[in-house]
C-alpha cells in the first residue's frame, strides 16, 4: 500500500526538516525520509556557529546578508538551541592590518552589525587571547546546537501533521515520462520497502544531492568540501573568535556547550560517506589556533571529526579553490534545468540559513501546487523536546544584571547607531531564554540528580536517557545526538555501558518494533568514538583512551563480542 | 588543569565528605566536571561546591595531578564574589579579628559568655554557628614575643604563630620558642597577621589577598636576610607555602621567596636532624599516644616529619591514625550549622580510632583539628611540639 503525499523530502538535516515544517505549516502534505538519524549528516557535523554574517562580508556578501537576517529570526524561534556568545573578529600579527577597515566597510554594505571593541575590553573578556591582537570587532555571532534544533524542528513537523521516516534509505525515484512521481524507500531496520507517491520530490540531501538526482536520471555535480574540526576539552574562550581576514582554514574558534571547537579545513573528497581525517589537518588547526590562543595546542583535545559541505557551482564556473565557491544556496528546478519535472534540489547554504532556504524552496513548490498560504516559519517558536531538562533558575539576563556590567557584557543594540537591517521591535526578541553554559549543572542540582547521572561528563540524568530510549532509537549514537551522552572528556568511558544496560532494561519491559542488540550497539558506539579519538591521541586524551580501553577491553571484553 | 581529569573516580572514593553526605556530589563532580559548565561572568549554577571542606585529600589521591580542591575553592570564591559573603562566614573567616577581640583581660568574660548555652543557641539562630561546634577558649595572656632581637646576629629563625596561638593557645607558641631556642636559634617574632586561609576557604579572595600581601611585606626583610620562617600551624604554613600564591595568582619574587623560606616546625627540625644539628638531649617518655596527621599537613607532601623527629624520644610510641582519615572540621567548615553534623560524621572513623586506643591524650598538629577531636572524643589533645618541649624538659 503506497503512501501518498504532495511533497516527498529527501534528507533529514536542517534544510529538509525546515522544508517539512514550512510545508506542513502551509497545509501542504509532506513526508520526509532520511537514511540515518536526523542530523546525522552535515547538520550534525559542523562547528555549531550561528553566523552573524561577518565571515562572508567580503567573499560572499549575499550569504552575509542572508546570515544577518536569519540570525535574528533564529534567535526568536529557537532560543533554547542557541547560546548568545557574541563574536569577535580579531586582527593578529599574521593578518593584513589593512583588511580591517575593508571588513568594516563590507559589514556596513552587507547590513551586518559591527562595532570595534577596545582591546582592553577584549582582554578583560577573553584573557587567554593573544596579546598581540591589534584590533577587534564585535558581531552577533552565537553558537547553535544543531542536534537539538533538528529535534525541535522534527517535533514541530510532527505536530503540524507531517511524517518523518528516519533510517529509511531512498532506493529509487520513479519517473513517468519526464516527471518524477514517486520514491521507493527501504526501512533499514525491518528491510521493508515502501513506495511513496508524490507530486514533488524536494531533494534536500546536501552533499548527497547528486546521488539523489542521479536516481531520477539527472546529473547534478556537487563538490563535497570536507571540513575538519577539533573539539577541545573545555572552553578557553566564551566568545566566538574569528580571524579578521578573508575566510581561510583554521581561522575560527566556537565555544559550544562545554567544548571549544577549532574550525575548519576545506578539502575535496570524492565520496561524502568515506573520508578520513588527515594528521596535517589537525596540525594546521592547532597551529592556527595557537595564533589566537598562545599555548592552545597544549590544552586537551577531545576528538576530531569532519563534515562535508555541499558546495555547488554552476557549470561554466568550474575551477578555483573551494573557498571561492559561494556559500549561498541554490534552488534548482530540474524542470527548467534538465527537463525533468517534479524534482527540485536545494543545494549549498549554511545551517544558519536553513530556514530561508526552506522558505524559498517551498515558495516554488507552493506556487506550482497553487497553494497561496504565506510562509510562517519566521514566527513559529519551536517546541522544546521532552528530553531537555530546563533549569528553573532565574533568567541569566536578570542575574547578570544584578552583578552589574563588569561581570557580563551584553552587546548593546543598536550598535553605534548603525542602520539595522531589522526593526527595533525584533530586537526585543533578544531577551529570550537562550541556552547558557551552566544550564545543565543548575538543573541537575535543582533536581538533586547528581547521584543519578548516566553520562557524568555532560551531566545526563537517568531520567533523560530513559525518556530518549522510550522514544525509540536505532543506535546508541542517536542518544548521543539527542543528549550528548558520550561527547565529554571520557568519550563514552563510563556512560556507554550504563546506557547499553538501560537500553536492555527498556527493551525487556516494553516491546519495541525493531529491538536492537545492546552489545552490538555498545560496540558500534565505541568504534565510532574511537574513530574520532585517533587523530588526536596524545597527552591527556591518550591517557583517557587507555583507561577506556582497560574498562571495555580489559574488564568487559567488548572485543570478544561476536558479530551478530 | 581540569584537562588532566580522566574521570576515574578515585577522588570520589577517597573524599571523606562525599562518603557521608548526599549533599556533596564528590570532588570529581564539583571539580573538573562542573568546572566545564561554569563561566566567568555567569552565576555559578551549583551551590553544592560549597560542601567541599577543602581537606585536599582529592589532590593527594588524583593519579593525573588535577588540583581539585583549588578548582573548588575558586568556584566558591566566584560564588562569593557574586552573592556576597554571609555575615556568619565573614565572622568566622576573620579569625584574626575575632581572636584579638576575645583574647586579653576580657577573655574570662568572653569564655563565660560563649560557654553559656543560651548564647550558643542565639548564635546558632542568628548567625548559623552550630551550638555544639567546638569553639576555642580565649586566653587572658595572648602570645607575644618576649623580646625583639635585632636581625642578622647569629642563627636566627622567624616564628609564624598564626591566629590560634596568639588568641587561644599561647602555650604552643611558648613550646615552639623554647624548642627552637634549645637548637641554638634566636627566635624572631615580627608583626604578622592571619595567613588568610579561613578567608580563602570561605571564598573571600580579596581579603585573603590583602592578608597574604601584608604578611609578605612583614616577612620579606627576614627572608631577604636568609632567615627561615617556621610555623606550628600546618595550615598557616601551607597557606604561606602554596595555597595563597596558587589560589590568588600571586607570583611575585617576594611571594615566591617567602613561600620557599617557610617551613612547618617539624619539617625544620627534621632538616636540623639530617644535618646532625638537632639537640638530642631528650628524656624518655614511656607513652603510647595516638597521633593524627592533619589533612593540611599531608598536603605539604613532606612525609611525616613529626614521626621522624619524635622517634628520637626513647619509650615514645606513636599510633598513627588511619590513612586519609579526616577529623571533619576543616578549619571553619564544621562550625557551620548546616555542616556540623556532616563534619562529625566525617570524623567518626578517626574519633573511634582515638577512643579505642584508650589514651587520655592525643597528638595533632592543627589547632582546629585538636579542638574537634577533643570535642568529639573527650580526649585531651596537644601539639607534638608541646610533647617535644616536655622531652627537652623545657
- Please write the tens of the pLDDT for every residue from A469-512: 988 888 999 999 999 999 999 999 999 999 999 999 999 888 77
Question: A312 pLDDT exceeds 90?
Answer: no
- Please write the tens of the pLDDT for every residue from A24-42: 999 999 999 999 999 999 9
Give helix B117-126 / helix B107-115 axis angle, nearest 10°: 80
Among A300, A448, A459, beta carbon nearest to B3:
A300
Q: Are residues A228 and A217 in the same domain?
A: no
CA-based nearest distance A550→chain B, Å: 11
The B residues from 47 to 76 touching A (CB cutoff 8 Å) are 47-48, 64
Of A283 and A417, more confident: A283
Q: Give the residue on A whose Cα is nearest the Cα of B4.
A: A540
Q: Is residue A350 part of a domain?
A: yes
Among A299, A459, A494, beta carbon nearest to B3:
A299
Residue-range definition of the domain harbouring residue A509? 439-560
- Please write the tens of the pLDDT for every residue from A232-276: 999 999 999 999 999 999 999 999 999 999 999 999 998 999 999
- Give contacts of A439 with chain B, Cβ < 8 Å: 45
| pLDDT for the residue A423 | 32
Q: Place A407 in a pLDDT band, splitting at 50, 70 and 90.
A: very low
Q: Are residues A492 and A356 in the same domain?
A: no
Q: Which of helix, strand or coil describes residue A522?
A: helix
Looking at A271, A286, A314, the residue that finishes a domain is A314
> What percent of chain B has a predicted confidence (pLDDT) above 90?
92
Q: Is residue A128 part of a domain?
A: yes
How far, rounded to the nearest angstrom, does the alpha carbon of residue B56 sit from its chain's CA centroid? 12
Looking at A369, A385, A401, the residue that finishes a domain is A369
Q: Do the Cβ atoms of A544 and B6 come within 8 Å? A: yes
Q: Is residue A53 part of a domain?
A: no
Q: Are residues A109 and A157 in the same domain?
A: no
Q: Is residue A229 part of a domain?
A: yes
How far apart, in whole angstroms, are the C-alpha atoms of residue A405 and residue A121?
12
Distances (CA, A) of B324 to B255, B349, B367: 30, 10, 18
Q: Are residues A347 and A472 in the same domain?
A: no
CA-based nearest distance A544→chain B, Å: 5
Neighbouring C-alpha atoms within 13 Å toward the C-beta of A357: 32
Looking at A314, A339, A357, the residue that finishes a domain is A314
Q: Are residues A127 and A233 in the same domain?
A: yes
Q: Give the residue on A whose Cα is nearest the Cα of B49.
A: A445
- Give contacts of A396 with chain B, Cβ < 8 Å: 42-43
Q: Give the residue on A whose Cα is nearest the Cα of B45.
A: A442
Q: Is residue A77 part of a domain?
A: no
The residue of A125, A439, A450, A454 whose CB has the most chain B CBs within 10 angstroms, and thus the best one to mutate to test that interface, is A450
- What is the domain partition of chain B in residue ranges? 2-83, 282-391
Among B8, B36, B45, beta carbon nearest to A442:
B45
Neighbours of B152 (CB within 10 A): 10
Burial A50-71 (b: 16+ CB within 10 A, else e): bbbbbbbbbbbbebbbbbbbbb
Q: Are residues A178 and A304 in the same domain?
A: no
- Per residue, what are the HEC states of chain B? CHHHCCCCCHHHHHCHHHHHCCCCCCHHHHHHHHHCCCCCCCCCCCCHHHHCCCCCHHHHHCCCCCCHHHHHHHHHHHHHHHHCCCHHHHHHHCHHHHHHHHCCCCHHHHHHHHHCHHHHHHHHHHCCECCCCCCCCCCCCCCCCCCCCCCCCCCEEEEECHHHHHHCCHHHHHHHHHHHHHCCCEEECCCCCCCCHHHHHCCCHHHHHHHHHHHHHHHHHHHHCCCCEEECCHHHHHHHHHHHHHHHCCCCHHHHHHHHHEEEHHHHHHHHHHCCCCCCCCCCCCEEEEEECCHHHHCCCCCCHHHHHHCCCCCEEEEECCCCCCCCCCCCHHHECCCHHHHHHHHHHHHHHHHHHCCCEEEECCHHHHHHHHHHHCCEEECHHHHHHHHCCC
Calculate mean pLDDT across residues B274-289: 95
Point out the least confidently predicted range of A311-320, A432-441, B261-270.
A311-320
Residue B3 near chain A (CB below 8 Å): yes
Q: Do the Cβ atoms of A438 and B41 come within 8 Å? A: no
Burial A93-118 (b: 16+ CB within 10 A, else e): eebeeebbeebbebbeebbbbbbebe
| pLDDT for the residue B146 | 63
Q: Are residues A480 and A521 in the same domain?
A: yes
| pLDDT for the residue B149 | 67
CB pairs under 8 A between A and B: 101
Q: Which residues pair with A533 in a beta bridge?
A: none
Q: Is residue A211 part of a domain?
A: yes
| pLDDT for the residue A397 | 41
- Please write the tens of the pLDDT for every residue from B19-34: 999 999 999 999 999 9
Residue A436 near chain B (CB below 8 Å): yes
Q: Are residues A471 and A491 in the same domain?
A: yes
Which helix (H) or strand (E) is A109 found in, with range? helix A99-110
Q: Are residues A239 and A273 in the same domain?
A: yes
Q: What domain count does chain A have?
A: 3
Structure-block grid coordinates of residue A477: 549514537
Among B3, B29, B44, beta carbon nearest to A233:
B3
| Residues 6+ positions from A247 with CB-CB distance below 8 Å | A55, A56, A58, A59, A323
Mean pLDDT value across chain B: 94
Q: Give the residue on B whose Cα is nearest the Cα of A489.
A: B6
Give the domain CATH number at A204.
3.50.50.60
Question: B144 pLDDT exceeds 70?
Answer: yes
Give the domain CATH number at A278.
3.30.9.10
Q: Is residue A69 part of a domain?
A: no
**3.30.470.20, 2.60.40.1660, 3.60.10.10, 1.10.1060.10: CATH of B2-83:** 1.10.1060.10
- Please write the tens of the pLDDT for every residue from B293-330: 999 999 999 999 999 999 999 999 999 999 889 999 99
| Residues 6+ positions from A5 with CB-CB distance below 8 Å | A29, A30, A31, A163, A196, A197, A198
Q: Are residues A532 and A444 in the same domain?
A: yes
Q: Do the Cβ atoms of B37 and A437 come within 8 Å? A: yes
Q: Which of helix, strand or coil describes residue A98?
A: coil
Q: Are residues A175 and A282 in the same domain?
A: no
Q: Is residue A391 part of a domain?
A: no
CA dihedral of residues A551, A553, A558, A560 (deg, nearest 10): -160
Q: Are residues A129 and A269 in the same domain?
A: yes
Q: Do the Cβ atoms of B82 and A396 come within 8 Å? A: no
How far apart, in whole angstroms, are the C-alpha atoms of residue B110 and residue B107?
5
Calculate mean pLDDT across residues A78-87: 95
Q: Does domain B282-391 fall into CATH 3.20.20? A: no
Neighbours of B155 (CB within 10 A): 12
Question: A430 pLDDT exceeds 50?
Answer: no
- Give contacts of B4 with chain A, Cβ < 8 Å: 300, 540
How far apart, in whole angstroms, are the C-alpha atoms of residue A313 and residue A315?
6
Amino acid at each position: 500500500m503506497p503512501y501518498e503525499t504532495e511533497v516527498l523530502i529527501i534528507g533529514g538535516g536542517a534544510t529538509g526538516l525546515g522544508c517539512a515544517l514550512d510545508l506542513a505549516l502551509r497545509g501542504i502534505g509532506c513526508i520526509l525520509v532520511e537514511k540515518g538519524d536526523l542530523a546525522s549528516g552535515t547538520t550534525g557535523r559542523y562547528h555549531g556557529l550561528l553566523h552573524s554574517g561577518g565571515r562572508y562580508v567580503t567573499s560572499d556578501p549575499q550569504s552575509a546578508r542572508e546570515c544577518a537576517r536569519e540570525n535574528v529570526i533564529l534567535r526568536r524561534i529557537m532560543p533554547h538551541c542557541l547560546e548568545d556568545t557574541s563574536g569577535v573578529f580579531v586582527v593578529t600579527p599574521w593578518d593584513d592590518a589593512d583588511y580591517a577597515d575593508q571588513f568594516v566597510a563590507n559589514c556596513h554594505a552587507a547590513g551586518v552589525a559591527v562595532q570595534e571593541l577596545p582591546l582592553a575590553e577584549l582582554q578583560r573578556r577573553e584573557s587567554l587571547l593573544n596579546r598581540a591582537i591589534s584590533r577587534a570587532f564585535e558581531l552577533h555571532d552565537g553558537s547553535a546546537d544543531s542536534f537539538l534544533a533538528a529535534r525541535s524542528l522534527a517535533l514541530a513537523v510532527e505536530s503540524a501533521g507531517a511524517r518523518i521516516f528516519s533510517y529509511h534509505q531512498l532506493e529509487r525515484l520513479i519517473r513517468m515520462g519526464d516527471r518524477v512521481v514517486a520514491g521507493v524507500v527501504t526501512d533499514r531496520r525491518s528491510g521493508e520497502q515502501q513506495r511513496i507517491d508524490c507530486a514533488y520530490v524536494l531533494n534536500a540531501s546536501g552533499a548527497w544531492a547528486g546521488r539523489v538526482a542521479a536516481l531520477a536520471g539527472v546529473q547534478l555535480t556537487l563538490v563535497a568540501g570536507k571540513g575538519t574540526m577539533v573539539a577541545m576539552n573545555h572552553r578557553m574562550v566564551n566568545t566566538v573568535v574569528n580571524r579578521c581576514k578573508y575566510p581561510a582554514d583554521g581561522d575560527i574558534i566556537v565555544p559550544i556547550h562545554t567544548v571549544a571547537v577549532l574550525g575548519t579545513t576545506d578539502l575535496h573528497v570524492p565520496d561524502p560517506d568515506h573520508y578520513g581525517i588527515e594528521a596535517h589537518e589537525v596540525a594546521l588547526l592547532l597551529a592556527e589556533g595557537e595564533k589566537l590562543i598562545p599555548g592552545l595546542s597544549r590544552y586537551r583535545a577531545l576528538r576530531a571529526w569532519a563534515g562535508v559541505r555541499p558546495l555547488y557551482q554552476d557549470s561554466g564556473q568550474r575551477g578555483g579553490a573551494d573557498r571561492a565557491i559561494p556559500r549561498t544556496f541554490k534552488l534548482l528546478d530540474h524542470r527548467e534545468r534538465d527537463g525533468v519535472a517534479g524534482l527540485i534540489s536545494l543545494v549549498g547554504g549554511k545551517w544558519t540559513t536553513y530556514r530561508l532556504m526552506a522558505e524559498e524552496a517551498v515558495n516554488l513548490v507552493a506556487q506550482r501546487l497553487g497553494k497561496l498560504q504565506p510562509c510562517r516559519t519566521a514566527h513559529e517558536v519551536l517546541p522544546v523536546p521532552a528530553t531537555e531538562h530546563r533549569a528553573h533558575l532565574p533568567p541569566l539576563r536578570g542575574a547578570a544584571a544584578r552583578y552589574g556590567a563588569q561581570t557580563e557584557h551584553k552587546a548593546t543594540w543598536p550598535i553605534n547607531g548603525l542602520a539595522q537591517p531589522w526593526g527595533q521591535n525584533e530586537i526585543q526578541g533578544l531577551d529570550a531564554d537562550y541556552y547558557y553554559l551552566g544550564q545543565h549543572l543548575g538543573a541537575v542540582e535543582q533536581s538533586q540528580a547528581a547521584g543519578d547521572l548516566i553520562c557524568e561528563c555532560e551531566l545526563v540524568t537517568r531520567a533523560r536517557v530513559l525518556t530518549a530510549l522510550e522514544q525509540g532509537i536505532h543506535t546508541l549514537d542517536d542518544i548521543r545526538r539527542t543528549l550528548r551522552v558520550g561527547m565529554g572528556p571520557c568519550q563514552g568511558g563510563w556512560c556507554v555501558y550504563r546506557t547499553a544496560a538501560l537500553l536492555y532494561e527498556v527493551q525487556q519491559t516494553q516491546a519495541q518494533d525493531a529491538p536492537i542488540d545492546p552489545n552490538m550497539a555498545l560496540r558500534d558506539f565505541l568504534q565510532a568514538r574511537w574513530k574520532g579519538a585517533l587523530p588526536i591521541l596524545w597527552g591527556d586524551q591518550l591517557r583517557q583512551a587507555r583507561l577506556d580501553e582497560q574498562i571495555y577491553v580489559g574488564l568487559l571484553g567488548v572485543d570478544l563480542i561476536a558479530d551478530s | 588543569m581540569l584537562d588532566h581529569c580522566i574521570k576515574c573516580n578515585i577522588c570520589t572514593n577517597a573524599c571523606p565528605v562525599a562518603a557521608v553526605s548526599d549533599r556533596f556530589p564528590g570532588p570529581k563532580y564539583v571539580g573538573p566536571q562542573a568546572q566545564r559548565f561554569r563561566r566567568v561572568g555567569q552565576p555559578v549554577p551549583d551551590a553544592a561546591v560549597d560542601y567541599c571542606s577543602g581537606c585536599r585529600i582529592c589532590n593527594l589521591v588524583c593519579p593525573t595531578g588535577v588540583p581539585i580542591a583549588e578548582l573548588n575553592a575558586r568556584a566558591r570564591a566566584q560564588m562569593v564574589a557574586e552573592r556576597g559573603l554571609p555575615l556568619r562566614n565573614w565572622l568566622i573567616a576573620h579569625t584574626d579579628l575575632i581572636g584579638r577581640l576575645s583574647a586579653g583581660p576580657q577573655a574570662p568574660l568572653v569564655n563565660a559568655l560563649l560557654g553559656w548555652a543560651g548564647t550558643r543557641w542565639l548564635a546558632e539562630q542568628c548567625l548559623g554557628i552550630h551550638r555544639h561546634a567546638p569553639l576555642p577558649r580565649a586566653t587572658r595572656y595572648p602570645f607575644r614575643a618576649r623580646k625583639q632581637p635585632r636581625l642578622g646576629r647569629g642563627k636566627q629563625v622567624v616564628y609564624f604563630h598564626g591566629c590560634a596561638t596568639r588568641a587561644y593557645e599561647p602555650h604552643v607558641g611558648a613550646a615552639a620558642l623554647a624548642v627552637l631556642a634549645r637548637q641554638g636559634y634566636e627566635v624572631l617574632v615580627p608583626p604578622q597577621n592571619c595567613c588568610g586561609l579561613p578567608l580563602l576557604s570561605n571564598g573571600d579572595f580579596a581579603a585573603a589577598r590583602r592578608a597574604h600581601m601584608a604578611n609578605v611585606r612583614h616577612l620579606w626583610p627576614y627572608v631577604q636576610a636568609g632567615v627561615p620562617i617556621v610555623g606550628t600551624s600546618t595550615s598557616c604554613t601551607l597557606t604561606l607555602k602554596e595555597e595563597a600564591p596558587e589560589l590568588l595568582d600571586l607570583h611575585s619574587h617576594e611571594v615566591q621567596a617567602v613561600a620557599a623560606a617557610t617551613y612547618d616546625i617539624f619539617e625544620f627540625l627534621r632538616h636540623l636532624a639530617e644535618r646532625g644539628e638537632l639537640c638530642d638531649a631528650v628524656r624518655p617518655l614511656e607513652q603510647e599516644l595516638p597521633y593524627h596527621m592533619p589533612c593540611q599537613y599531608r598536603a605539604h607532601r613532606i612525609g611525616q616529619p613529626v614521626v621522624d623527629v619524635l622517634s628520637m624520644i626513647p619509650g615514645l610510641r606513636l599510633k598513627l591514625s588511619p590513612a586519609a582519615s579526616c577529623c571533619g572540621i576543616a578549619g571553619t567548615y564544621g562550625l557551620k550549622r548546616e555542616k556540623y553534623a556532616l563534619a562529625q560524621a566525617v570524623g567518626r572513623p578517626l574519633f573511634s580510632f582515638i577512643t579505642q586506643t584508650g589514651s587520655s591524650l592525643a597528638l595533632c598538629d592543627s589547632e582546629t583539628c585538636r579542638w574537634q577531636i577533643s570535642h568529639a572524643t573527650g580526649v585531651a589533645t596537644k601539639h607534638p611540639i608541646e610533647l617535644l618541649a616536655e622531652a627537652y624538659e623545657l
